[in-house]
């Protein structure tokens, strides 16, 4: 009986987290995405220098331009961080001096801040779609 209660409580917590974890369309539309610095590629290189064994041998392939998006940096209970998502393929040498093969990374950039997103971090690309009708108090008419 106790296991059943724990399961029910866990299920409701998960359900609440799933519902609260999605920002409203009005929040997405009015969010502060900041600016993409002209030197965003250098900022990503600088960020990765601290994390690679041999950063000077790394080969970077930027996939497309930065796109508006958001990511849950602190879990889905907290509000997401808005900014620009950048996909980068990086091929770097390991400690043995061999290239490891290209691995894909996603970064979130906002103004002068850079975050490397782990695979488990929920992220979303935002499309610039304006509502077809005026919205007042979050309700379309």
| Interacting residues of 20 by C-beta distance below 8 A, sequence separation 6+ | 76, 77
pTM summary value:
0.72
Residue 141 is predicted with a pLDDT of: 42
**Distance between CA atoms of residues 133 and 98, nearest Å:** 57
DSSP track, 38-69:
TTHHHHHHHHHHTT-SEEEEEEEEEEEEEEEE
Taking only the tens place, the pLDDT of each residue in 72-110 is 988 877 889 999 999 999 999 988 889 989 999 999 999
Mean residue pLDDT of the chain comes to 80
């Amino acid at each position: 009986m106790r296991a059943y209660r724990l399961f029910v409580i866990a299920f409701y917590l998960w359900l609440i987290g799933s519902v609260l974890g999605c920002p409203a369309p009005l929040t997405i539309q009015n969010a502060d995405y900041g600016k993409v610095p002209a030197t965003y590629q250098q900022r990503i290189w600088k960020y990765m220098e601290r994390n690679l064994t041999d950063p000077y041998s790394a080969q970077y392939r930027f996939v497309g331009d930065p796109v508006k998006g958001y990511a849950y940096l602190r879990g889905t209970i907290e509000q997401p961080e808005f900014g620009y998502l950048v996909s980068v393929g990086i091929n770097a040498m390991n400690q043995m001096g061999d290239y490891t093969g290209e691995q894909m990374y996603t970064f979130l950039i906002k103004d002068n801040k850079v975050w490397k997103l782990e695979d488990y971090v929920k992220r979303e690309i935002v499309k610039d779609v304006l509502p077809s009708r005026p919205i007042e108090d979050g309700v379309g008419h």
